[in-house]
Structure 1
C-alpha cells in the first residue's frame, strides 16, 4: 500500500543539492543520539550548533539560528518582522506556540490603504512605512531565552552580532532579490546606505557588512526587550517611519507582547500532528485537508487521481480560510468545527473522485458554521526538545525601508490583512471582515511550523512560500507518511490550489505529461511553468525552502533535510558528546 505511494513520490523527487545529514546507530532510546538543525543558511545552522556545544538547549539554539537568519537572509526575515515558534519541551512533554506576529499600528485603518477612487493602493500596502506592522521577532528572542533557554540572551545573540559586524558573502538569491526590489529600496536613505554604499549596489560575492544592525543586536543583547522597543533604537525606528510619512507611536511600540497560544493537534493515520493555531491559517487548513484525505487510501490510487483528491482538499480548506480566519483576539473563529472529523467528512462528501469541482460552485459567501519570502528552521536537541520556527518580513526585503541608524529592514505585513474586502493581496488570496485591519490586531498568516510524531518517528518541518506554505507542508506530511526520508521530503515537487484563482499551480517537472493531461480531462485548469504542452501561463519554476529534521526512534538515527532549491541552506547533525 504505502510502498506504491512511496515509489510514486520518489520517482518525482528532485536531485538533492545536499546529502542527507544523519547520525546514530542501530539502537533505540528515549532521547535522540545527538542534535539536528536544518535552516535556510549554513551560517545560521552553524550558529545553532555552536550554542548547543556551549551548553544551550534547542530554545537557545533557536535564538541563535533566528537572529543569524535575520542577518544573513534579509531577503526573507529579520528583526523588523515577526514569526511563529512551535516548541516542544521534552521534560514536561508540553507543546506551546509562541505568536510573534506583527500587529497593526493605530494609524492603519482600511481607509488609509485606498486611493482616491476607492481602490486598494498596492504601493502603500506593500512598500514603505504604511506597509509595516509593529515588529514581533525581537520580543520572541527575548521570550525564548528568558523563559525556555538556559543561556543568557547575550550569549545566544553573539553569532549574529559577529556576522553582522564581520560580514558574509552576498549570494545569488540575495542579489537577485535586491535587483528586483531596488526601485523601492532606493527611495529610502537608510536603505541605500546599507544596500548601495557609496552609490554602488550590492552584487553577488560582495562582503556584506551591517554595523548598524550589529549595534541594534547588541542593544537587544544588553537590555533585552527595552533594547529594541524602548530607548535609542526605538527612537530611531519611530523617527525613520515618521520621516517617510508613516505614523507609529512610542507606546504601541513599547506595548508589543509575544502571545503564548495552544497549538492545534490532531491525528492522521497513526501520526500525531501538532501545528500552528490562529492567527496562522496553516494549522486549521492542514487539519481540514488531512482529515478530508484520510477517507481514501492514497497509496492505492494512480497518480492523477491522487493529485486530484489532494487538490480538491486544498480547494475546500482555502475557501474556508478566506471567510473564517483572522486574529483570534479580535474575531470568533469556529476552530472546533473547522478542525473536526465530522466537518471534514462533510467536505469529503462533496468531492467527485473523478471530476474537478469548479470553485464557483463552492459558495462565495460566508455560510453559517457552529464553531522566496519568509524562512524556516527546524531543531531537535539531544534531550528531545524541538523547535519549528517560521519567520518573515513578508515580500522580498519587506517594505524596503530601513530607518537610518538601525539596520532594521521593516516588514510589509499590512498587505496580509484584507485591506479591501474581496480584493486579492500580493499572494492572490482574499479575505473579508475576519481579517480586516484594526489597531493592535495581528494579520492572518500562512506560516505553518509543524511537528509529526508516531510510535517510532518524530519529524519537524516547515517552509516559506506565502500562500503556498500550507500546501507545501501538506505534501511534506504526506511524504513522511509514505516513508520518505528527510532529504527526500525537502526535495519533493510541489503543486498548489487556493480556491481562487481556480487553477492548479505546479513547479517544473511536478507532473508528467500524462498526469497533466489526465488532470485536464477531469476538468482542472493547470498553471505550469513556461509553455508546457499541458498548458498554463507560467508560474514560478521552483517554490519554497523546506527545512526538516527527523528522529527515527526505533533505529536511533537523526537526519536532516535542506531544500535543494536553496544552495546556501544546510541540514547538519551532530552526535551527542
Structure 2
C-alpha cells in the first residue's frame, strides 16, 4: 500500500532556541525541537496541541487527546471503556505503564454466558449489559493528570467537553458502523436518544452533539474520580445497566483503581524496546517474536522466506498467549521464562527454514512451564516526555448500551475473557483458566503501546486491530529497524498469524500472488493475498506513530493512510523533517 499524500498534515512552528541544545560529545540532541502528536482524528490531535500551547506537557496532552477521541470516535473508545498507557518521564528517565483496563463485575460469572445447551451465548458476551466490564478510562485520565500532568484535569478536558456539547460532523465510518450495529443499539432507549434524530440514525455530515456526555465529562473535570465512580454519574450507570437486565453495584464502581505496572523491556538489534506488560498480551508476545527473529538477516531474504520466519514467530507467541497469559493479579504468569532469550532460542530451534509448522503440531493442551475498534495515539513533547496510549470499547460501538442520562457508551470487554474455556472469542482467539473471569479480574488485552529507542532515534507507536495489534506493532518495529520513516511505517502492508486458525491473513496486496504461491509450497495457507481476491477484503488497523531523530534533531509523524482523509491526523510543533 502506498502512503497517501501528506498535504493534509497540520504543521505548526512553536519551537524555542533552547530546544536545539545538543550534547557536544555525542552529537545528538538532548531534547526534541518541539512536539509531535499522531492520533486517529484531527480534532483529537488539535486538542492535544492546544493543551501543549497552554503550557501542558505530553501527559496533559494525552488527557486531551484521549478524552477527545472518546467523543469523536465512539465507535472505538470512550469513557465507558478502558486503556493502557505507556509513559516516559524525561526528567527522571523512568518508563511507567498505567493499566486502566476494565474489570469483571461480581455478577458476571462464567455460567451467565452459557445458553441452555451449555454453549457460549455470543449475544450476551458481545452485546448489552452483561458484555460490559467496569470502565477504567475515566480513572486513568484522573490518575494521569494528577500524578504526571502540569495542568488541572479541568483544563485538559475542556476540548472534549466543548466538542461533545457543540458537536462535530459525522463521518462515513461512524455512520456505517451504526448501521451495522443498529439492531443491537436500538434495543436501548439511552442509545437511541443519542444516535437517532426523529427515528433516523446519524448520517454522514450530520452535526453530532452529545450534551449528556458533555455533562458527564464536566462532572469528571470538577470532581475527578468521584465525578464518575460515585455520585450522579455512578447512580445513572448502575440504573441503566439494571434497566437493561444486568447488574453492577456502587461498591464495584467506587473500588476501581488504576494499576501502575512495570513495562516489559528488552533489546532487539540496536534498539531498546519498551512495551506493555500483562494485562496486555502484546509485550510478552513481542519479546518472544523479536528474540526469535533477531539472528536472521530478514532484509537479505526473499519475500517468501522473510514472511515464513515472521509468521512462525507469530505462531509460537500466540500459542503461548492462549495458555499462559491473564491478569497478573489473579494468574501466575511465567513472564521471566516467556521473555527470556533462552526460551526464544528453544522456540527458534523448532522452526524449519523452508517448511511451515502445522499449528496442531504445537501442543494444543495446557502444559506446564518453569478493533478492530480500538484507537491509539502517540505523543512526544519538547522536553522529551512521551506517551503511547491505546484505548478501546472492544468491538464496534462496544456493547451498544448507553445508560440514560450519561452519554457513556459501555464497552463489551467481557468477550475478551475466556468465558467458555477453549471457545474462540470475536477475534478468533481462545483461552483457558489464566484468562477466565472472576470478580475484579481484568480481561487479557492485545493493546500494545510501545517505545523504541536507539543511540540516535526514538519512536512511539501503537494501533487498534484486536489480536492483529500485536503483529502490526511487530511489523512496525521491523520497519523502523529496516530504516523506514514514520509515515512509511504507518503505511506498511500487513499480515498476521495467531496460531489458530492456522492461516496467514493478509491485507489486499500485502503479499503478492507469487509470494503466496511460494508460502503455500512451504505448507502455509494464505488468505487475502494477490490483490485481496481471497480472505480479508479490506485493510486493517490504524497505526499512529511519532519519531525523533536525535542526530538531526527533527521530528516526524505517521498517521495510517488506511484512514479516510481528514480522520487520522498528525501534528508537529517545531522543526520537522
TM-score range relative to shorter protein = over 0.9
For residues 223-238 of structure 1, the aligned pairs below 5 Å read 223-238=223-238
For residues 189-204 of structure 1, the aligned pairs below 5 Å read 189-204=189-204
Structure 1 gaps of 5+ residues are: 1-12
Q: Any idea what SS the aligned residue of 1:466 has?
A: coil
Number of aligned residues: 561
Please, what TM-score do these two structures have when normalized by structure 1? 0.95
Measured against aligned partners, the alpha-carbon deviations of 1:66-95 in whole angstroms (never above 9, x if no partner) come to 000000000000000000000000000000
CA–CA distance in 1 between the matches of 2:305 and 2:29?
40
Measured against aligned partners, the alpha-carbon deviations of 1:522-552 in whole angstroms (never above 9, x if no partner) come to 110011169967xx4x224100000000000
CA–CA distance in 2 between the matches of 1:491 and 1:135?
32
Measured against aligned partners, the alpha-carbon deviations of 1:98-139 in whole angstroms (never above 9, x if no partner) come to 000000000010000000000000000000000000000000
> CA 1:298–1:357 in 2, change beyond 3 Å: closer, same or farther?
same
Q: Any idea what SS the aligned residue of 1:445 has?
A: coil
> CA 1:149–1:504 in 2, change beyond 3 Å: closer, same or farther?
same
Q: Is the 8 A contact 1:452 1:459 kept in 2?
A: yes
Match of 1:141 in 2: 141
Q: Residue 281 in 1 paired to residue 269 in 2?
A: no
Of 542, 547, 560, the residue aligned with 1:545 is 542
Match of 1:526 in 2: 526
Match of 1:9 in 2: none
1:473 Cα deviation (Å)? Answer: 0.2
For residues 284-295 of structure 1, the aligned pairs below 5 Å read 284-295=284-295
Q: Is the 8 A contact 2:512 2:530 kept in 1?
A: no
Match of 2:25 in 1: none
CA–CA distance in 1 between the matches of 2:358 and 2:21?
50
> CA 1:482–1:185 in 2, change beyond 3 Å: closer, same or farther?
same
1:208 Cα deviation (Å)? Answer: 0.2
Of 551, 554, 571, the residue aligned with 2:551 is 554
Match of 1:215 in 2: 215
CA–CA distance in 2 between the matches of 1:542 and 1:175?
19
CA–CA distance in 2 between the matches of 1:356 and 1:530?
20
Q: Residue 488 in 1 paired to residue 488 in 2?
A: yes
Match of 1:361 in 2: 361
For residues 44-55 of structure 1, the aligned pairs below 5 Å read 44-55=44-55
Runs of at least 4 residues of structure 1 off by over 4 A?
Answer: 19-28, 529-533
Higher mean Cα deviation, 184-193 or 520-529?
A: 520-529
RMSD between aligned residues: 1.6
Q: Residue 124 in 1 paired to residue 121 in 2?
A: no
1:198 Cα deviation (Å)? Answer: 2.1
Match of 2:386 in 1: 386
Match of 1:6 in 2: none
Match of 2:571 in 1: 572
> CA 1:98–1:531 in 2, change beyond 3 Å: closer, same or farther?
closer
Q: Any idea what SS the aligned residue of 2:389 has?
A: strand
Measured against aligned partners, the alpha-carbon deviations of 1:392-446 in whole angstroms (never above 9, x if no partner) come to 0000000000000000000000000000000000000000000000000000000
Q: Is the 8 A contact 1:505 1:527 kept in 2?
A: yes
Match of 1:5 in 2: none
CA–CA distance in 2 between the matches of 1:38 and 1:572?
6
Q: Any idea what SS the aligned residue of 1:560 has?
A: strand
For residues 510-525 of structure 1, the aligned pairs below 5 Å read 510-525=510-525
Match of 1:75 in 2: 75
